[in-house]
Chain A
């Protein structure tokens, strides 16, 4: 296993900010909570970078992200809300978007709602794999579980999602 170089905080924010935001958004379904959580994670990363010892940077980053997310959601105890449609809202009275765009928006909402309906461990594993794009090994390191557990959570999470969407 090679040691990743330690990036600066600005590099972390630039390179991972969008991924962390999407991770938080898909787990909460709430853009404001996702933004707050992302900034909280980045500030924690900045405080922790000084004590980071070279290893697998992604594993370290996503462990912090995951723990910060769990801490914050426990504190807030706010129910996840059904998300706004993807993309910009149109309040200008302009012509409605074409049917295929509406269908995409509805599908996005349905998938998001189905994700929010999954038990947390399964939702987390599926989002880490299919939204963030982490490997099973990186997910296992981030959540502190064996690879076999990660395999199981991803598979069962996808199955549950499929059932909820059908």
Chain B
């Protein structure tokens, strides 16, 4: 038979049929190349199987924990962003705006405009602007 490379791991794992096993064993008894390969994959198999099984965190399996970054929490984040965008549009109409995910963070339009003017005045990069810019 040809070199049965892919079957060597199956032989180690006892995953061959009753017909295949004697064929492989007959081949191995006469093929140094396949015998060496069998030893190599056997070593790799033992190393992986020797890795310790790790314990998951205790909260795994709690029915009320939604993992961060999961599809469900992403949906919640998308809604928050949508709500923030909708609230931001209110400012164009002269209303009150929620400027962050924190619903308590509310700033009125007068405060916003005074802060904006102050930033413009102290910024040396645009020092020619001295006050509120008049509209056209």
Give the B-binding residues of A (Cβ under 8 A).
9-10, 13-14, 17-18, 21-22, 25-26, 31, 34-40, 42-43, 46, 72, 75-76, 86-87, 107-108, 111-112, 115, 126-127, 129-131, 135-136, 148, 151-152, 154-156, 158-159, 161-162, 165
B47 near A: Cβ within 8 Å?
A: yes
Binds A, one of B55-63, B82-90, B126-134: B55-63
> Knowing that A21-B56, A152-B6, A158-B40 are A-B contacts, what are 8 other residue pairs whose CB atoms are under 8 Å apart, sorted by A's residue number?
A17-B61, A31-B54, A34-B56, A35-B60, A38-B56, A39-B61, A39-B62, A86-B51
Q: Are A21 and B54 in contact (CB under 8 A)?
A: yes
Q: Are A76 and B69 in contact (CB under 8 A)?
A: yes
Chain B residues closer than 8 Å to A39, beta-carbon distance: 59-62, 65-67, 70
Chain A facing B: main interface SS: helix
Taking a contact as CB atoms closer than 8 A, the residue among A14, A112, A155 that contacts B10 in the complex is A155
- Bound form: Cα–Cα A112–B88 in Å: 47
Q: Are B54 and A22 in contact (CB under 8 A)?
A: yes
Q: Are A155 and B6 in contact (CB under 8 A)?
A: yes
Q: Are A155 and B8 in contact (CB under 8 A)?
A: yes
Give the A-binding residues of B (Cβ under 8 A).
5-10, 13, 15, 37, 40-41, 43-45, 47-49, 51-57, 59-63, 65-72
Give the nearest-CB partner of B48 in chain A. Answer: A130
Give the nearest-CB partner of A152 in chain B. Answer: B6
Chain B residues closer than 8 Å to A75, beta-carbon distance: 69, 71
- Bound form: Cα–Cα A129–B70 in Å: 27
- Bound form: Cα–Cα A102–B47 in Å: 16
Taking a contact as CB atoms closer than 8 A, the residue among B7, B10, B48, B61 that contacts A126 in the complex is B48
